[in-house]
Chain A
Amino acid sequence: MTLVWLILIPLLGGLVAWAAARWGSSWPRWISLAALGLDLVVALQVWFMGGPLAKGDPWLIDFAAPWIPSLGISVHLAVDGLSLIMVLLALFMGIIAVACSWSEIQERIGFFHFNVMVVLAGIIGVFLSLDLILFYFFWEVMLVPTYFLIGIWGHENRIYSAIKFFIFTQAGGLLMLFSILGFYFIHGAHSGIYSFDYFHLMGTPMEPRVAMLLMLGFFAAFAVKLPVVPLHTWLPDAHTDAPTAGSVILAGLLLKTGAYGMLRFVLPLFPTAVENLAPIGMALAEIGILYGAILAFAQTDLKRLVAYTSVSHMGFVLLGILDRNELALQGAVIQMVCHGLSTGALFVLAGGLQERLHTRDMNRMGGLWSTMPRMGGMALAFALASLGLPGLGNFVGEILVLVGTFQVSAAMTIPAVEGLVLAAVYSLAMMQRVFFGENTRGWKLPDLSMRETVVLGTMMAGLVLLGLYPQPVLNMARPALVHLNRSAATPVSFHTAPATIHSRGPMKIGLHSRSSADPTDDGSFRADTDR
């Protein structure tokens, strides 16, 4: 039940926060913070108290209950190290998002917090689901509240951006649903068990061409979210027009759901197809790294600049995932966490600037350090994190990805390293244009408030911690990544007889530890192995 509560607490908190808006404007804020704090405690408890369900098993908690048994759909939630890291990131960024919108959002506060909390519940659900339909369900649950966040509380072009975001993600999502259904029927025809359960579907033998098509359906959904160039065009618009909290959640979390989906589903479910796709995918990742960086440099809108840096940074994540070696996967996870923190913080700063200046145009800024030294210092620190300064988390992630890529192909590493150089260019150029130089317009602005300092300070502390001592995160993610990667590394060919598949490593571990090795079990009902 712990896992169900992880999802329910934000959801209920959101409902209460909405209802509490009638008592005053600070009620929804405090209630949201309290609910997220409580959820964070629950998640941390799993981190510190939990151990693997069985030796050699990456899973910490597994929960399954029937949902629509006649179709083999169940509420199957489970957490392993990777999921847990992502859930903790989600809750942390959620708290940041609530805290950073404290003064920005002054209208319809209750409904705003309801939407924030529902997005978070959907994101946590995505990180925990192991039933493909449940996963799709949460995947779509994230969509509508994000649309509202952008469309109601956003900036100038909010309607356009919100609809664009909605359509891009929904199109990707439907392609994924198509693939999920195709997978379901192929598996059902092959084994006689019609189930959407992750462990049942894993290792389904299929023709390479079919596997490729199904994989592309999943890949489309995740590539839109990640985003992979050329499916990224929604991102600059959505990030720019979203309110600060929306940008923080988009950059910090929604993009990560795409990467998570690739790690959790694409790699282990379609091992051979991924191998075939990898060269193209990696090329796209490289293009994303360079293209995002170059476009970031060309922006005059501060939030748009930060948005394009996301495209560049998420290119590293995709590269790491497609390298499919342990180092690169570790790097991708660290990069996901650190990108969430650093880019989230840059959006908080951009939001803070917009609140003070009422503009995001960098041509109208300059020399702001003199009037806001604390904000300038913070911005410099996060800009350095973003460009990959050693000692801060992003460096660890990027270097791991690069080392991992080098093992796969030295040639592929070269453009990615160029990305680091370009990152330095756009980060420092941003600092130059906003904070350094002459304060020609004579801005006189209040410096960071206590609240903002605490928010940004916490994020900085996280980056420093991850930069100097990333080992706890790496240790936590390791069993899960090894497991995912082993599934990927032992491709199941179409001609392999089913009997031998069952004796293979990952499949066996998966089924064995779920006490559902009995093939007649349709995955509809299992004991709660929660502890």
Chain B
Amino acid sequence: MTSADVRALLPLIVLTSAPVLVMLVVAFTRNHRLTCGLTVAGLIVAAASMGPAMGLAPREVTPLFVVDGFGLVYLGLILAAALAVTLLAYGYLEGRKEQPEEFYLLVLLATLGAAVLVIARHFASFLLGLEILSVSLYGLIAYDRTARRCVEAGLKYLVLAAASDAFLLFGMALIYAETGSLAFSPTPAPEMGRAIGVLYGTGLAMMITGIGFKLAVVPFHLWTPDVYQGAPAPVTAFVATVSKGAMFALMFRYLGPMSGVTGAPLFAVLSIIAIASMFVGNLTALLQNNVKRILAYSSIAHLGYLLVAFLASRPTSTRAVTFYLVAYFVTTLGAFGIVTILSTAERDADSLDDYRGLFWRRPWLAGTFTAMLLSLAGIPLTAGFIGKFFVMTAGVGSALWLLVTCLVVNSVIGIFYYTRVLVAMFSSPPEGAVVSAAMPHSLPGRVVLAVLLGLLFWLGVYPNVFLFVIEAAVAA
């Protein structure tokens, strides 16, 4: 490993040292603010160390990693999302019984796992990253040990994630048996004319099962609503954004080069998954009364939209996928940020009743939530609109008529349940209802929400700067 390799991997090295440091500090002194501060500092230093790496991209570091523009964009996205989650969690954990310090440790570790995924180009690093991410998430989801629902969600995630990882591992083994290589890039897309080997096909199917589980696309989505509902709100935000985003980046890197061939079985399978995710996600969301579950089903549908962009031909699909993911990150973090801020020490604010009349009690919070929901629905002025626009552009440009039609139909269905939440917020507060005294707003949480709101409108009105970044990174 040369010094250039080290510089290219610097963000990962920082991310690896940060949890160690935090662990040592916690061993000596338990101080919430200090731990949170260290975590924030670790994430910021990791982000800053992307600077030297950027100059070297694209660079293959050992057979395991490739540091390229694409990976760095997603790395930056993951670090930013982790930072947002950390800051949101500070206020959330402040008023609770559990000791908060280990939370940050796990967040850092999970972020490391996600970071490994986005620059992986080898099955070994893939699995390594995935396991670091999953194991940290088990702890995070069940962090509130005293709450039954929390523990239940953690267990559910543990069992299902372990099973899906087993599938993934088996799939890798089968593909290895066929191709004799564990690296991504030389994995041969079956040449034209040559039938896909049975082992290779089975292996790929198992891999898609494993990937699909992390992405929570239909039919691998059954854990999503329960885990979203049971996990502490900041963790839900993390699962919805960092975990899914990293896996999507990995899928893009691994399966992307194979997806261009229309008519291939892979294309058909992913199309079916996309359509099923859109319809099941949106239709089931209609039946929910719990805000976290609504957002869970909505995120299933959104991954379906993302798959439409994924299935479009390159390079439009890269732009569409990346932009949509950014918009999705901003929006989802914002939405769960609101849930986090409104949560009390006893319970998360996840019932629709918690939001009734919110606009007249806390106009700024409700206004922010409104913007986030409208962005999820893809209404102009928000990032979600430009994201949906890019997805549709990519889909129409690649003549994916069926998929785009499904997307349009589902966007309309989606409005039903987003407006249900809106209606609750703008309705008059129920007579004589006991408005639970929420925790005092934490300043970091409010700053995060303000930044996210700003980003939402900035991306929605003037996406040029960010588009330029994507184009430059992908071209490199």
Contacts and interface: CB of A to CB of B under 8 A. Distances in A.
B380 A141 contact: yes
A166 B419 CA distance: 9
Interface string A127-140: 00000010011001
Interface in B229-252: none
B471 interface: yes
B467 A166 contact: no
Of the listed residues B380, B385, B389, B392, the one surrounded by the most CB atoms of chain A closer than 10 A to its CB is B380
Contacts of A162: 419, 423
Given A151-B423, A175-B408, A177-B392, A170 B381 contact: no
A442 interface: no
Given A159-B423, A166-B419, A174-B411, A68 B467 contact: yes
Contacts of A152: 426
A298 interface: no
A167 B416 CA distance: 8
Contacts of B419: 147, 162-163, 166
B464 A181 contact: no
Nearest to A141: B380
Given A70-B464, A167-B416, A178-B404, A140 B379 contact: yes
B412 A148 contact: no
Contacts of A148: 426
B381 to A, nearest CB: 7
A71 B392 contact: no
Interface string A62-79: 000001111100000000
Given A68-B464, A175-B408, A182-B396, A170 B415 contact: yes
A143 B419 CA distance: 12
B278 to A, nearest CB: 13
Of the listed residues B412, B463, B467, B468, the one surrounded by the most CB atoms of chain A closer than 10 A to its CB is B412
A450 to B, nearest CB: 33
A137 to B, nearest CB: 5
B179 interface: no
A70 to B, nearest CB: 6
B393 interface: yes
A181 B393 contact: yes
Interface string A159-190: 10011001100110011011001101100000
A69 B392 contact: no
Contact of B415 (A133, A166, A184, A185): A166
B390 to A, nearest CB: 9
B374 interface: yes
Contact of B397 (A170, A178, A185): A185
A527 interface: no
A468 interface: no
A149 to B, nearest CB: 11
A171 B415 CA distance: 10
A54 interface: no
Contacts of A144: 374, 379
A69 B396 contact: no
B408 A178 contact: yes
Interface in A107-147: 108, 133, 136-137, 140-141, 143-144, 147
Interface string B369-389: 000001000011100010001
Contacts of B411: 170, 174
Classify the interface of chain B: helix, strand, loop or mixed: helix
Contacts of A174: 408, 411-412
B471 A70 contact: yes
Nearest to A177: B392
Nearest to B414: A170
Contacts, number: 71
Nearest to B407: A174
Interface string B343-379: 0000000000000000010000000000000100001
Nearest to A152: B426
A171 B412 contact: yes
Contacts of A177: 389, 392, 408
A137 B380 contact: yes
Nearest to A160: B423
Contacts of B462: 67
A163 B416 CA distance: 7
Contacts of B423: 151, 159, 162-163
Interface string A501-520: 00000000000000000000
B415 A136 contact: no
A374 to B, nearest CB: 35
Contacts of B393: 71, 181, 184
Given A68-B467, A170-B411, A182-B396, A151 B416 contact: no
A152 B463 CA distance: 32
Contacts of B463: 68
Contacts of B379: 140, 143-144
A151 B424 CA distance: 11
A252 B463 CA distance: 34
A19 to B, nearest CB: 12
A159 B471 CA distance: 43
A70 B380 CA distance: 19
Contacts of B360: 108
A133 B460 CA distance: 13
A467 B396 CA distance: 48
A149 B254 CA distance: 48
Nearest to B412: A171
A207 to B, nearest CB: 15
Given A140-B385, A147-B419, A163-B419, A181 B396 contact: yes
Contacts of B415: 163, 166-167, 170
B472 to A, nearest CB: 12
Contacts of A159: 423, 427
Contacts of A133: 389
B381 A178 contact: no
Interface in B450-476: 462-464, 467-468, 471
B412 A136 contact: no
Nearest to A147: B419
Contacts of A67: 462, 464
B155 to A, nearest CB: 38
Interface string B110-138: 00000000000000000000000000000
B416 A70 contact: no
A137 B463 CA distance: 14
A166 B411 CA distance: 12
A162 B385 CA distance: 21
B67 to A, nearest CB: 26
Interface in A300-336: none
Given A68-B467, A147-B419, A151-B423, A178 B380 contact: no
B426 A141 contact: no
Given A67-B464, A174-B408, A184-B393, 17 more contacts: A70-B467, A71-B393, A133-B389, A136-B380, A137-B385, A144-B379, A148-B426, A151-B422, A159-B423, A162-B423, A163-B415, A163-B419, A166-B419, A167-B416, A174-B411, A181-B396, A184-B396
27 contacts: A68-B464, A70-B468, A70-B471, A133-B389, A137-B380, A137-B381, A137-B385, A140-B379, A141-B380, A147-B419, A147-B422, A151-B422, A159-B423, A163-B419, A163-B423, A166-B415, A166-B419, A170-B412, A171-B412, A174-B408, A175-B408, A177-B389, A178-B396, A178-B408, A181-B392, A185-B396, A185-B397
Q: Which 8 A-B pairs have the closest CB atoms?
A: A181-B396, A140-B380, A171-B412, A174-B408, A137-B380, A163-B419, A152-B426, A159-B423
Interface of A: 67-71, 108, 133, 136-137, 140-141, 143-144, 147-148, 151-152, 159, 162-163, 166-167, 170-171, 174-175, 177-178, 181-182, 184-185
Interface of B: 360, 374, 379-381, 385, 389, 392-393, 396-397, 404-405, 408, 411-412, 415-416, 419, 422-423, 426-427, 462-464, 467-468, 471
